[in-house]
Amino acid sequence: MNGYNQIIMPKFLVVIVLFLAITLVIFSFSELQNVVFTLQQANIWFVILALIAEGAWMLVVGAIFHSIYSLLGLKETRKRLTLLALASSFLGVVTTSAAVGGLAMFVADGRKRGHPTGKVTVAGALYFLLDYAAFFCVLPLGIIVLIRRNNLGAVQVSASLILLAIACAMGSMLYLAYRSPAALGNLLARLARFINRIVRPFIHRQYLSEARAHELAADVSSGLGSVPEKPRSLIRPLLLSLANKILLMLILIFSFLAFDVPFSAGTIVGGFAITYLFVIVSPTPAGVGLVEGVMAVALGTLGVDFSQAVIITLAYRGLTFWLPLAVGAVAFRSLHVDLDRSTEEPLQASGPEA
């Protein structure tokens, strides 16, 4: 890449991120070995088809961001947005910062490319809201499958309610920013004040800036002003988000076929719904360390032999988590995004007193 396409990143931050990535691989080495061994036993043709579907999934993620950027009047190439999406996902996993680290990546890139911070922040929020909306189209089908097979429990219901609460909170904050930036600024300032009271005894200074809370609210409100009022403007990115979920279910189907394990439509929908639900609500980024167990148990309760469920889980997570993580690492290294400031919380105070 030339200088225009790269954003300089302090070398020590690159080293830290790559060190964290290596640490994750070391702690997950036994799982990676199992994934590689499992895929070696699979039907190679179905593995190739799954890899093609995974590649299409990556391209669709970039297309979703491109559609949202275009909606907000931001000009950027699909290729760069695809690399940014993969790199931000990698950063969120290895730094355990999830969406915060991913958004910081887009904001840092946007600053260097001359994109307004407010619009980039709105783009990130819209991406997650549309992703949740698309998943909510699939989740009821998964719940119906669980009810019909008498497998719906308190854990699945609780996780669904948590996801609904997250989506409602994000949607409410965007609506508040659209209707009244001052009200959103006051809300964020109160949250900053509350967090400062908790952490002040430990760090002896303000951690979050109330002034920056109002600035962030104004930026987000300005970005929302670029969204067309007609709801149909969001149809294209929503359809792309649905295509994203269909491709992930297709990868799950190929995982079953690769090991000649019988399945039904209900097994695919129910297994995917539970797995993706816990990917979102898991306390660990992308559900690493948790989803593997949840998915195997979920497939087992849906009638899949448990030993076969474990094999399918390893193959599916290898294709949908470890492979994108590796590609994201390459994308991160190639972009050289400057996260010196942007990896901080958006409201973080810059000095002892802000």
The model's pLDDT over 50-75, given as tens digits with 9 standing for 90+, comes to: 999 999 999 999 999 999 998 888 88
Judge whether residue 238 has pLDDT over 60: yes
> What is the rounded average pLDDT for all residues in the chain?
76
The confidence score (pLDDT) of residue 351 equals 43
Per-residue pLDDT band for 195 (boundaries 50, 70, 90) equals confident
Mean pLDDT of 183-211: 69
Judge whether residue 43 has pLDDT over 80: yes
Other Cβ atoms closer than 10 A to 41: 10
Mean pLDDT of 11-22: 57
Judge whether residue 245 has pLDDT over 90: yes
The model's pTM is 0.76
- The pLDDT > 90 percentage for the chain reads 19
Secondary structure in 3-state letters for 283-337? CCHHHCCCHHHHHHHHHHHCCCCHHHHHHHHHHHHHHHHHHHHHHHHHHHHHHCC
Interval 317-348: pLDDT, tens:
889 988 998 898 888 888 764 444 444 445 55
The confidence score (pLDDT) of residue 342 equals 43
Other Cβ atoms closer than 10 A to 266: 17
The confidence score (pLDDT) of residue 339 equals 45
What is the signed CA dihedral for 135, 253, 21, 28, rounded to 10 degrees?
120
Mean pLDDT of 136-164: 74
Strand partners, 348: 208
Lowest mean pLDDT among 102-106, 252-256, 261-265: 102-106
The confidence score (pLDDT) of residue 165 equals 76
Q: Report domain extents, the chain.
A: 11-154+251-335
Mean pLDDT of 183-190: 70
Question: Where is pLDDT greater, at 21 or 308?
Answer: 308
Judge whether residue 271 has pLDDT over 80: yes
The confidence score (pLDDT) of residue 7 equals 42
Question: Where is pLDDT greater, at 100 or 317?
Answer: 317
Tokens, residue 347? 């409201």
Lowest mean pLDDT among 41-55, 95-109, 282-296: 95-109
Per-range mean pLDDT, top range of 98-112, 292-306, 335-349: 292-306
The confidence score (pLDDT) of residue 253 equals 95
Distances (CA, A) of 200 to 69, 78, 190, 222, 277: 38, 43, 15, 32, 35
Per-residue pLDDT band for 36 (boundaries 50, 70, 90) equals confident
Q: Quick one: which of 174, 178, 175, 170 has its CA closest to 225?
A: 178
The confidence score (pLDDT) of residue 14 equals 55
Q: How far apart are CA 308 and CA 303, in angstroms?
A: 10
The confidence score (pLDDT) of residue 8 equals 40
CB 298 within 8 A of CB 310: no
The confidence score (pLDDT) of residue 211 equals 67
